[in-house]
Amino acid sequence: MDSKLTSIFALFPNKQRDDLIPMLHKIQDEFGFLSEEFIIDVGKYLNISINKIYGVATFYDNFRFGPKGKFHIRLCHGTACHVAGASTILAELEKYLRISAGETDKNGLFSLEVVSCIGACGLAPLIEINDEYYTNLTLDSLKSVLDNYRENHNSIYEEQ
Amino acid sequence: MSFTIQVNNSPLEVHQGETLLNALRRNGIKIPTLCHMSGFTPSGACRLCVVEIEGKKDLITSCSYPVEEGMAVKTNSLRVISARKSLVEMLLSNHPDDCLYCERNGNCELQWLAEEMNITERKYFSQKNSHKRDHSSTSVYRDPAKCILCNRCVRVCEEVQLVTAIEFIYRGNKTTVNSAFNKGLNVSSCINCGQCIMVCPTGALVDIPHTEKVQSAITGKKKFPVAMISPAFVSAVAEHLGLKPADNPWGLIVAALKKAGFKKVIDMGWASDLNIRLEAQHLLKRLEDKAPEPMLSSCCPAWIQYAEEFVPHMIPDIATAKSPQQLMGRMLKNEDYGLQDVAPENIFTVSFSVCTANKFEASREENTRKGISEVDAIITVREFLKLMRSYGLDIRRIEPDSFDKPFSESSTASLQTVYSGGKAEAVAQQLNHLLNGNKSAMLKFTPPKNPGGRKEVKVKIGKHEVGFAWVSGIADVQKYFDDLKAEKRTDIHYVEVMACSGGCAGGGGQPIHWQPDKFRQRKKMAQEMEKSREARVAFENIQMETFINRHIVSEEQEKCLHTSFHKRDVLK
């Protein structure tokens, strides 16, 4: 077993059912996502059926089951963004990246997540890419942002 | 303590502490439900049981609301009726509506509700869910499109069977019942017991059907179809169709299957007797060796799978005898003594059983020989009743026929295996015979009368003081084993383990009928049928004894009556 995982387990010596969600959070913080192996290990440690754990983990949007892309795109789909056309932005994003929300593209460059509200309603619609915000989006401006990331991904990534 | 409440403007006597639903139903007032299962904690998920209570603004789910003194309830006001109707209409909003092609057509709770609520058109349209169907299991087929998320299968799997092979995955309108990582049931911890099928209100969970391959075998010319009828199957069919033992249900089923095209029909009770004989021999050996742990019965395939997945350390204590179904298949498909005029590879053995786990059992590698499976298909009671209908055969109006030799006789011991506790007694009687010889009187074996308590009987056989116990339903089984271990008991020597509550009488291949005490009626039927048989103990089945003494002589031949179990790695 991964030594990082063992040290996370060591934080929960009582092996209670209530430890499950905090434990999943810690694993996701450490590794970026919950892999099948991790879920199986958690099940063995807490003596909870992995079917149950998977049920709990899929209930919450926050948990991921695959690695994030190099650039993680969060699309705000709160009420204001929805009114301002977030659905159109989402459709365009999915078309451009050729993935659905919650997935990571094949070469691991982009991953897409839909979140409920980022709290910048005055700037709707907007996306966030690795803590950079792109606001008042139109289909054209979205495309140029994404094109820029796709062409210069190495230099942008190094800068960050 | 009892008091009176007002229901629909008339008084109703209720007991303190019971739920409103319970009180209403006990008094014959019909309240529709989908998620409710008696004996389980109420979940209040489907909300169909809503009623109006005077002084309360909202409608109340009666399944989870206790009765209160002075309450006034309306169960069929316009508000209640229209709320229920809307609920069913919403359940139907993403239903595939393919009732004509559904296994549960005519026997579906959702269909009944739609009819009862007078729903004649689709009121709400929502997106159908696109979760994949699961064909991966050997016994259970899942179609998530028909699932109404009532939670019944999930609860049975977790609370009664302790397996938790399925769980709600995702949230909101994406919710589905599935196993971890959306992988199939075949890699999950499912033990194929079929209890989820028994509680499913719709066609979301059904058998993996074997009907078509049986039909092509009995109509084609290449195969020699042989039907093997288990005692549990006979009693289940008799109970379902309201036959009496005097009507000769065995003979009627034989005759019907012969008409359908089976070349031979044999009595699997024969193999039950053999299985009892083998287990008694094994038990005697363990008593003489002073084995510290109790021996566990091996005839229930779902229990075997549970043991392999969850308690592999117990495998050495499980009897090695093959289950009756596999013994029968092995006997038939054998060059030396089976059906001598037919080559084993041409025989098509069909087991008629009340068990869905039998379908898995037949597919086990240990249960094949030279690439030929011992049992080719399993027909559950549900499949049988459909088969008979499609062949236009009414079992009740048929001239009875008799089983084919040399596998035509069985003792009442085989019928005892139908219900929990019977097998333990049958093994005790057989052991008594082994130790005290033919002339010994029947052993006095009186099951304790303690509803819900431990089922244990201690008898003195020869010089041995032997403790027999029986448990059914995996949750009870596991609890019993834990208790035995905690109390460091050494006085129990044989435990009869059945995965389904009530034994095979509550099996996963029985006709769909969610009544918690249905297995008692089937048990009663089996006990009535016992009275009509002569040979009361397995060893009194002279036909089986003679056959075994004549044909099973070498150690090699003895070996094919036994099997082995191994640890199973699954996602659990």
Collapsing DSSP states into helix, strand and coil, what is residue B5? strand
Residue B228 falls in which region: left (phi positive, over 0), alpha (psi -120 to 50) or beta: beta
Minimal-distance CA residue of chain A relative to B183:
A51
Residue with token string 């460059």: A109
CA of B158 to nearest chain A CA: how many angstroms apart?
A: 10
For the record, the structure tokens of A128 come out as 């966030």
Fold that domain B212-559 belongs to in CATH: Rossmann fold (3.40.50)
Residue with token string 């729903």: B119
Q: What is the percent of chain B where pLDDT is above 70?
A: 99
CA of A128 to nearest chain B CA: how many angstroms apart?
A: 25
Give pLDDT, residue A1: 74
| B338 has a pLDDT exceeding 80 | no
How many CB atoms lie under 10 A from the CB of residue B106? 8
- Cβ contact A51–B164 (<8 Å): yes
Minimal-distance CA residue of chain A relative to B175:
A59
Give pLDDT, residue A123: 93
In which band, very low, low, confident or very high, does the pLDDT at B536 lie, cut at 50, 70 and 90? Answer: confident
Q: Which of A36, A49, A55 sits opposite B572 (nearest CB)?
A: A49
Give pLDDT, residue B439: 66
Between B540 and B52, the higher pLDDT residue = B52
For the record, the structure tokens of B341 come out as 């005029």
In which band, very low, low, confident or very high, does the pLDDT at B514 lie, cut at 50, 70 and 90? Answer: low
How many CB atoms lie under 10 A from the CB of residue B264? 22
Buried b (16+ CB within 10 A) or exposed e, B204-235: bbbbbbbbeebbebbeeeebbbbbbbbbbbbb
Stretch B455-467: mean pLDDT: 90
Residue with token string 């994003």: A93
Best of A44, A51, A61 to mutate (most B CBs within 10 Å, chain B): A51
**Residues of chain A where predicted confidence (pLDDT) is lower than 70:** 160
Our CA angle for B552, B410, B241, nearest 5°, is 140
Chain A neighbors of B188, CB-CB under 8 A: 51
Minimal-distance CA residue of chain B relative to A37:
B571
Question: Quick one: CA torsion of B491, B193, B231, B470, rounded to 10 degrees?
Answer: 10
User: What is the Cα–Cα distance from A154 to A70, expressed in whole angstroms?
Assistant: 10
- Cβ contact A36–B189 (<8 Å): no
Give pLDDT, residue B487: 93
Chain A neighbors of B164, CB-CB under 8 A: 49, 51-52
Q: Which of B167, B171, B181 sits opposite A52 (nearest CB)?
A: B167
In which band, very low, low, confident or very high, does the pLDDT at B227 lie, cut at 50, 70 and 90? Answer: very high
| Chain mean position to CA B472 | 11
How many CB atoms lie under 10 A from the CB of residue B49? 28
- Cβ contact A51–B171 (<8 Å): no
CA of B169 to nearest chain A CA: how many angstroms apart?
A: 4
Minimal-distance CA residue of chain B relative to A66:
B181
Give pLDDT, residue A116: 86
In B, what residues contact A, Cβ < 8 A?
158, 164-171, 179-181, 188-189, 571-572
Q: What is the mean pLDDT of chain B?
A: 92
User: What is the Cα–Cα distance from B518 to B96, expressed in whole angstroms?
Assistant: 31
Q: Which of B166, B170, B171 sits opposite A51 (nearest CB)?
A: B166
Chain A neighbors of B170, CB-CB under 8 A: 58-59
User: What is the Cα–Cα distance from A158 to A68, expressed in whole angstroms?
Assistant: 17
Per-residue pLDDT of B84-140, as tens digits, reads 999 999 999 999 989 999 999 999 999 999 999 999 999 999 888 889 999 999 999
Chain B neighbors of A39, CB-CB under 8 A: 180-181
Stretch B228-244: mean pLDDT: 94
Q: Which of B167, B170, B171 sits opposite A51 (nearest CB)?
A: B167
CA of B160 to nearest chain A CA: how many angstroms apart?
A: 15
Spell out the domain ranges in chain B. 2-76, 212-559
- Cβ contact B571–A40 (<8 Å): yes
- Cβ contact B168–A55 (<8 Å): yes
Q: Which of B158, B171, B571 sits opposite A50 (nearest CB)?
A: B571
Fold that domain B2-76 belongs to in CATH: Ubiquitin-like (UB roll) (3.10.20)
Residue B179 CB partners (closer than 8 Å, separation 6+):
A51, A54, B165, B166, B167, B185, B187, B188, B189, B190, B571
CA of B571 to nearest chain A CA: how many angstroms apart?
A: 7
For the record, the structure tokens of A141 come out as 């401006």
User: What is the Cα–Cα distance from A8 to A28, expressed in whole angstroms?
Assistant: 11
Per-residue pLDDT of B353-376, as tens digits, reads 999 999 999 999 999 988 899 999
Per-residue pLDDT of B137-165, as tens digits, reads 999 999 999 999 999 999 999 999 999 99
Give pLDDT, residue B562: 94
Looking only at the bridges linking them, the beta strands covering B264-267 and B224-229 are parallel
Minimal-distance CA residue of chain A relative to B171:
A59
In which band, very low, low, confident or very high, does the pLDDT at B443 lie, cut at 50, 70 and 90? Answer: confident
Fold that domain A71-159 belongs to in CATH: Glutaredoxin (3.40.30)
Per-residue pLDDT of B167-218, as tens digits, reads 999 988 889 999 999 999 999 999 999 999 999 999 999 999 999 999 999 9
Give pLDDT, residue B517: 79
CB B421 within 8 A of CB B437: no
Our CA angle for B42, B48, B54, nearest 5°, is 90
Residue span(s) of chain A under CATH 3.40.30.10 come to: 71-159
Per-residue pLDDT of B479-488, as tens digits, reads 999 999 999 9
Give pLDDT, residue B1: 84
Tell me the helices (H) and strands (E) count for chain B, helix number first. Answer: 19, 19
CA of A143 to nearest chain B CA: how many angstroms apart?
A: 30
